[in-house]
Amino acid sequence: MMEPTRVIGSDEVGRVAFGCWRMTDPDVEFNANLVERAVELGMNLIDQADVYGFDWGGAGFGACEEMLGRVFAARRGLRERVVLASKGGIRPGIPYDSSAAYLTAACEASLSRLGVDVIDLYQIHRPDSFTHPAEVAEAMISLRSRGLVREFGVSNHTVSQTRALQTHLPFPLATTQPQYSVAHLDPLYDGTLDLCNESGLVPLAWSPLAGGRVMRAEGLRKEVIEVLDELTVREGVGRDAIAVAFVLHHPSRPVAIVGTQNVAHLESVAAAVNVNLSRADLYRIIEASTGERLP
C-alpha cells in the first residue's frame, strides 16, 4: 500500500484531493455534502481557483470560490478540517496577469469570496510571459508576510519557469500542478516530475481521469481501456481507481485532484490509494497510451 499522505508546508494532505472546477450546482446543501464526504474519504486538500465558474456552466468568474465560502459558512468547523488551495493569475480577456498588483488584488478577492482569513496554498494558475519572476516573487513575499497565504506553488509552469521563480524567493515553492493522466504523459518526459524528485515539490496532478474521458472510454486508445479494465478485475476496483493509481505510483508521489460531482464516484476513486500496480503494469499502461513499444 502506498503512503497515505503528503506534506505541504506543515499540513498533511491525502493522496487524492477534491477539485472544485465543476462546483457549479447552486444548491449549497448539495455542495456541502459533497465536500464533507470528500474530506471523510481522506481528500482534505480542496483545490479552487478564482476563474472556476467562468465555464462548466458556472455563474461567472469567482462563482466556485463563492460557493465554497457559502459551504464553509453553512458547515461549522469544515474549514478547519481542510487544506484550502486556490489559484490566481488568469484574467479573462487578457488572458494572463501575474503582475504584483494584480496577484495581490486577486488573492485578496479570493479570500473575500471564500470567507476566510488565510489560504493554505496559493498557486499561479498559468505563467505570464510578460511579468518578470522577481515581480511574481514580490507579490508572494508580501502576501506571506501579511499572513494571507501560508504556502505558494505554480500550475501549468515549465521546469525553467518554475526554477526562474524559485531563484527570487527566500522560501521554497511547495507545489507544482501539471496535467497528468494515462492520456497525458507529458510530465513524465518534460522534466516536471524529475524536478519534483530533485527539489521536493509536491506534484498536484490535475485531470487524472482526462476530464472523464477515461470513464467514457472516449478519445483514448482502445488498448489503454483494455489494460485498465484487465487491472480492475485483478484489483477489484473501478477503472477510475486504476487510472488514478497510475498517477499516484510515480516516485515523486503526486496528489491526484478529482473533480467529480457524484458521491458514488468519489467513493470509487478513493480506492486508488489501496491499488498495487507493478512496474510491469505501469509500463504496459504507458505503451498502451502511446501505442509504441518501449526500447
Give the domains, in start order, of the chain with CATH numbers.
5-177 (3.20.20.100)
Minimal CA–CA distance to 82: which of 17, 150, 15? 17
Give burial (CB, 10 Å; 0-12/13-18/19+) of 147: exposed
pLDDT at res. 59: 87
Catalytic residue of the set 52, 102, 122, 180: 52
How many whole angstroms from its chain centre is CA 221? 25
Is 52 an active-site residue?
A: yes
Distance CA 243, CA 229 (A): 10
Any idea what DSSP says for residue 189? H
pLDDT tier, 55 (very low <50, low <70, confident <90, very high otherwise)? confident
Q: What is the mean pLDDT of residues 243-255?
A: 98
Give per-residue pLDDT as tens, 71-99.
999 999 999 999 999 999 999 999 999 99
Residue 234 banded pLDDT, cuts 50, 70, 90: very high
50 and 87 in contact (C-beta within 8 Å)?
Answer: yes
Residues 6+ apart with CB under 8 A from 236: none
- Give the length of the chain: 295
The residue assigned the cell 485532484 is 257
pLDDT at residue 57, rounded to an integer = 81
Distance from C-alpha of 284 to C-alpha of 278, rounded to nearest angstrom: 10
DSSP 226-266: HHHHHHHHHHTS-HHHHHHHHHHTSTT-PEEEE----HHHH
| pLDDT of the residue at 56 | 78
Q: What is the pLDDT of residues 164-217, one digit of tens each?
A: 999 999 999 999 999 999 999 999 999 999 999 999 999 999 999 999 999 999
Average pLDDT of every residue of the chain: 97
For residues 103 and 157, give the distance between their C-alpha atoms in angstroms, rounded to a whole number.
Answer: 16
Q: Which amino acid is at 274?
A: N
SS3 sequence, 97-136? CCCHHHHHHHHHHHHHHHCCCCEEEEEECCCCCCCCHHHH
Per-residue model confidence (pLDDT) at position 295: 94
CA–CA distance from 142 to each of 113, 139, 245 (Å)? 20, 5, 38
pLDDT at 78: 98
Question: Rounded to whole angstroms, how far apart are CA atoms 189 and 194?
Answer: 8
In sequence order, what are the residues at sequence separation of 6 or more whose Cβ sits closer than 8 angstroms to the Cβ of residue 90?
A: 49, 50, 51, 96, 125, 126
CA dist 269 and 35 (Å) reads 15
CB count, 10 Å around CB of 218? 12
Q: What is each CA distance from 46 to 13, 19, 39, 59, in whole angstroms?
A: 10, 6, 9, 20
Give the pLDDT score at 283.
98
Residue 1 has pLDDT above 60, yes or no: no
Q: Fill in the DSSP letter of residue 182.
A: T
- In one-letter notation, the amino acid at residue 214 is V
**Mutual angle of helices 100-114 and 63-74, in 10-degree steps:** 40
Per-residue pLDDT tens over the stretch 108-153: 999 999 999 999 999 999 999 999 999 999 999 999 999 999 999 9
Residue 261: pLDDT over 80: yes
pLDDT for 2-42, tens place per residue?
677 999 999 999 999 999 999 999 999 999 999 999 999 99
